[in-house]
């Protein structure tokens, strides 16, 4: 494992509307999942040699010192730029120890991941839930394991992610699905969307938050198109004709899929609006804190 220097790790978030987070925390840089669509490999983020995972030097000491100095507690988001449960985490335990610090200083946490390794830390997550808001977002873009291995080659299979979701929900940890990106001409079928929604409900998900399309820019677009040519011959031409150089590439079936998705979530009692998800996982904590004081 290569280490890189870092002056700060827990930073104030710029978008509190994204799952109600107050801070961001990235312990690792780069990602080995190999997802063909990943936006984080874009030049604008400055993560060169993106497929190589590096850990931030003295990360736990930096996190401890920063949490100690925070005047206000809140929810710390992690997993936006680099999955906190990459394969190296199994031995390094940096994410686990960071969560222990989050727990000790009584912050909440919002975790985004594609790994079933998160179930290892159910004990720490359960402790955090006792005093602060906690949400786990498991990314799922296809219900088919065969397709999953093509578009997300080094990630836990879809069935393994749903099993992890079941484990979390059985422990009453507020968790659900990030249904994004839904790749145009590859994953944007009624069958794929409906099966993901139903599997989410069967495995205890409380919510699904979707994006029926993908974003493309800079070197990310080049990488994605190379993978399309490799695995889905002819699909790249459809992208070029439909989207040109557009950043947002919404599925041509986005409206149809949204209507179908909404109806099925309503039928099954799954949340899908951001404000409803935030309200649900934070419910009760503010009142409890006020009553304490």
Predicted confidence (pLDDT) per residue in 163-209, tens digit:
999 999 999 999 999 999 999 999 999 999 999 999 999 999 999 99
How confident is the model over 233-248, as a mean pLDDT? 96
What is the Cα–Cα distance from 134 to 113, expressed in whole angstroms?
14
Longest dimension (CA), the chain: 62
**Sequence-distant (≥ 6) Cβ neighbours of residue 179 within 8 angstroms:** 140, 141, 193, 196, 208, 209, 210, 211, 261
Mean pLDDT, rounded, of the chain:
94
Handedness of CA 46, 176, 106, 90 (dihedral sign): negative
Give 131-155 pLDDT, tens digit per residue: 999 999 999 999 999 999 999 999 9
Q: Tell me which residue has tokens 């145009």.
A: 184
**Is 279 a residue whose pLDDT tops 90?**
yes
How confident is the model over 284-288, as a mean pLDDT? 67
Give 88-136 pLDDT, tens digit per residue: 999 999 999 999 999 999 999 999 999 999 999 999 999 999 999 999 9
- Give, in order, the Cα–Cα distances in Å from 59 to each of 55, 95, 110, 112, 210: 8, 10, 19, 19, 32
What is the Cα–Cα distance from 27 to 10, expressed in whole angstroms?
9
CA gyration radius for the chain?
19
Residue 292, pLDDT score: 36
* DSSP structural state of residue 285: H
* DSSP structural state of residue 224: H
Residue 293 binned pLDDT confidence (cut-offs 50, 70, 90): very low
**Is 81 a residue whose pLDDT tops 90?**
no
Residue 48, pLDDT score: 80
Residue 288 binned pLDDT confidence (cut-offs 50, 70, 90): very low
């Amino acid at each position: 494992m290569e280490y890189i220097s870092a002056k700060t790790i827990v930073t104030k978030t710029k978008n509190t509307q994204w799952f109600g987070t107050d801070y961001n925390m990235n312990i690792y840089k780069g990602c080995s999942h190999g997802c063909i669509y990943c936006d984080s490999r874009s030049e604008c983020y400055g993560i060169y040699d993106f497929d190589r995972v590096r850990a931030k030097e003295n990360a736990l000491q930096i996190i401890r010192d920063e949490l100690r100095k925070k005047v206000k507690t809140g929810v710390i988001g992690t997993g936006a730029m680099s999955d906190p449960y990459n394969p190296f985490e199994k031995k390094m335990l940096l994410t686990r120890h960071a969560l222990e610090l989050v727990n000790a200083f009584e912050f909440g946490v919002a975790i985004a991941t594609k790994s079933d390794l998160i179930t290892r830390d159910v004990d720490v997550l359960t402790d955090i839930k006792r005093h602060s808001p906690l949400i786990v977002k498991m990314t799922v873009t296809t219900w088919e394991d065969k397709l999953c291995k093509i578009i997300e080659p080094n990630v836990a299979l879809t069935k393994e992610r749903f099993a992890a979701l079941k484990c979390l929900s059985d422990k009453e940890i507020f968790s659900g699905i990030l249904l994004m990106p839904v790749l145009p001409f590859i994953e944007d079928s009624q069958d794929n969307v409906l099966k993901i929604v139903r599997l989410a409900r069967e495995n205890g998900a409380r919510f699904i938050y979707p994006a029926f399309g993908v974003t493309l820019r800079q070197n990310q677009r080049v990488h994605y198109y190379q993978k399309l040519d490799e695995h889905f011959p002819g699909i790249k031409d459809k992208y070029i004709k439909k989207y040109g150089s557009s950043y947002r590439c919404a599925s041509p079936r986005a409206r149809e899929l949204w209507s179908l998705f909404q109806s099925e979530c309503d039928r099954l009692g799954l949340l899908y609006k951001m404000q409803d998800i935030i309200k649900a996982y934070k419910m009760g904590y503010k009142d409890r804190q006020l009553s304490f004081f």
